[in-house]
A and B are shown apart, each in its own frame.
Chain A
Amino acid sequence: MVLIYIDQDEQEIKKASFEAISYGATIAKQLGTTAEALLLGTVKNNLADLGKWGANKVHHVNNIVLNSFDARVNATVVAETAKSLGATVLIFAHNLNGRAIAPAVAVKLGAGIVTGACALPKTDAGFVVTKTVFSGKAFASIEISTPIKVISINQNSFGTVISDAIATVHELAVAVPSSTLKITSVHKIQGEVPLTEASLVVSGGRGLKGPEHWGVLLDLAKALGASTACSRPVSDADWRPHHEHVGQTGIQIAPNLYIAIGISGAIQHLAGVNRSKTIVVINKDGEAPFFKAADYGVVGDAFEVVPALTAAILKSKSNA
């Protein structure tokens, strides 16, 4: 059986978990077995609906204590449940909570693990999972040789498969170890799609010359409904917040569209964004290395090109 961990935040199931379900369900089909989801804590979502993304069953540990995330506690509960249900493959989203517990669960199950997978495993001979390595500069195919396998799947790398199926919901009583971690506050950035979940991203570099010039970029992001990112020197100089820093030492993203404005395309920057499906580069220097990694390029001054692009997008939206 393939068991998929459902991550929640403030009683809402995370977007990354829907993708994890579809990924796990596709593996289950490949192996001729069932796909079963596991949710800890209480959520507002209707659990039977998880059938839509491919879960045959949803196991629910309905304990309010589990609404706040404690890696040690969650990993213990997931491992105990996986053992008692006889799961042979476990799937996690490779988001922040998934990263925190998937390796611990693997240890508790004596299972081999591949984190940050970016494709379905090959299961015809052995069990081989492809993941990104060198922060996006290459891929590695890794064989897991233990009876139980654990995979965390990179966000936006598989997508979702939707049907109108309905899952059966099973309430589970599991002993929950007591937590010795006290969450004292949560701070959310209001009204923004987290960068790792965004399908459209507009990103700015040192070419924008200062935080006071970010307006043109923000207008474009607003017109598109895109999230915003930046290069490392920009966040180092506090022109933009740290969580926007993408690249080898920032976050790695794979949106459908990445628009780079005034970014030269250093190897460390490309590592974080080169899995984007479509890359648009706007740079006044036609020799900028980023153009080699781009699908579409505009050689021109960002302060003229970006407002013109924003206007063209708004025009095409009002015509639609």
Chain B
Amino acid sequence: MKILVCISKTPDTTTKIAFTEGNTKLDENGVQWIINPYDEWYSLVKAIELKEKDASVTIHLITVGGADTEPIIRKALALGGDEAIRVNNNSNDSFIVAQEIAAIAKEGSYDLILTGKETIDYNSASIGSMLCALLDQNFISAAVKLDLNGNTLQVVREIDGGEETGELNFPAIISCQKGMAEQRIPNMRGIMAARTKPLKVVEASVTNATTHIKNFELPPAKSGVKLIDPDNMDELVRLLKEEAKVI
């Protein structure tokens, strides 16, 4: 079985977001970069678990991005995975990213493509669904569990207010979230091994963007908290009713 795991680079979750160049670019000053948590904790670790059960599994990682994504790719390789592909395209248009991944996916004829539920920067949650259309394969989104039974995949996905279990065959695209696997920490052996694992760079082939970001904005600051005496909850109820009008 061949698995392709999609890896994205995102700012660390503690990043205080700020913008530069007239609010058109993220201020990268002091930003720590991490593997998108959904890609790292859930899709990558799930792929590694499948390989631990069946040594014939091959795991390829793919990132669409510039050379500055390579430390992230090495970190992912330190967790697991046999080799990585970087498509040298800096676009943040999901449609372009998905087309680059689809081209590699077609060439590699993977049985399973794993993505995170979304990235924590642009929150587009689009790549898996776009691959479904580009490759005409089954797609299960926001999956919390995946089991393999011979050639049949049993996948549990989140639905509004519950969970749904489905069965399907390869090839398939699955977007992963909490429940799928447990976060792991790379060990020294993994880090050493990652240095020599192949990282292939492929030139960009798609450039026609369908969207572009005009500017960013920060949410307005709250005007200040109104403190209420803990012995006067009637007053809080009154404020919620009459001032905030929410109950």
Contacts and interface: CB of A to CB of B under 8 A. Distances in A.
Nearest to A250: B178
B161 A188 contact: yes
B123 A313 contact: no
A93 to B, nearest CB: 9
Interface of B: 11, 13-17, 19, 37-38, 94-95, 98, 120-130, 132-134, 136-142, 144, 154, 157-169, 178-179, 209-219, 222, 225-228, 230-231, 233-234, 236-241, 244, 246-247
A314 B160 CA distance: 30
B126 A115 contact: yes
Interface in A86-135: 95-97, 99-108, 110-116, 128, 130-135
Interface centre among B128, B179, B225 (most CB of A within 10 A): B225
A128 B217 CA distance: 14
Nearest to A185: B165
Interface stretch (A33-41, A50-58, A296-304): A296-304
Nearest to B158: A96
A96 B212 contact: no
A312 B139 contact: no
A168 interface: no
Contact of B162 (A95, A187, A256): A187
A315 B238 CA distance: 11
B228 A297 contact: yes
Interface of A: 9, 14, 16, 69-72, 75, 79, 95-97, 99-108, 110-116, 128, 130-146, 180-189, 192-194, 196-197, 199-200, 224, 242-243, 245, 248-250, 252, 256-257, 267-268, 271, 274-275, 277-281, 291-301, 304-305, 308-309, 311-313, 315-316
A5 to B, nearest CB: 13
Contact of B138 (A108, A180, A243, A249): A180
Interface centre among A95, A192, A305 (most CB of B within 10 A): A305
B210 A140 contact: no
B141 A99 contact: yes
A48 to B, nearest CB: 25
B27 to A, nearest CB: 11
A79 B123 CA distance: 23
A260 to B, nearest CB: 12
A312 B237 contact: yes
B244 A308 contact: no
B211 A183 contact: no
Contacts of B178: 242, 245, 249-250
Contact of B211 (A16, A142, A250, A281): A142
A118 B198 CA distance: 42
Interface centre among B216, B219, B222, B246 (most CB of A within 10 A): B246
Given A71-B140, A103-B130, A143-B212, 9 more contacts: A69-B164, A97-B160, A99-B141, A104-B129, A110-B210, A133-B216, A267-B16, A280-B236, A297-B226
A311 B233 contact: yes
Contacts of B212: 142-143, 145
B129 A181 contact: no
Contacts of B124: 103, 115-116
B213 A294 contact: no
A111 B126 CA distance: 13
Interface centre among B168, B213, B214 (most CB of A within 10 A): B214
B210 A145 contact: yes
Contacts of B17: 134, 137-138
14 contacts: A71-B138, A79-B133, A100-B129, A111-B210, A114-B211, A142-B213, A185-B164, A186-B162, A187-B163, A252-B123, A296-B227, A296-B240, A299-B227, A316-B234
A249 B13 contact: yes
A128 B160 contact: no
The 7 closest A-B pairs by CB, nearest first: A112-B210, A300-B230, A194-B161, A103-B129, A107-B133, A103-B126, A104-B133
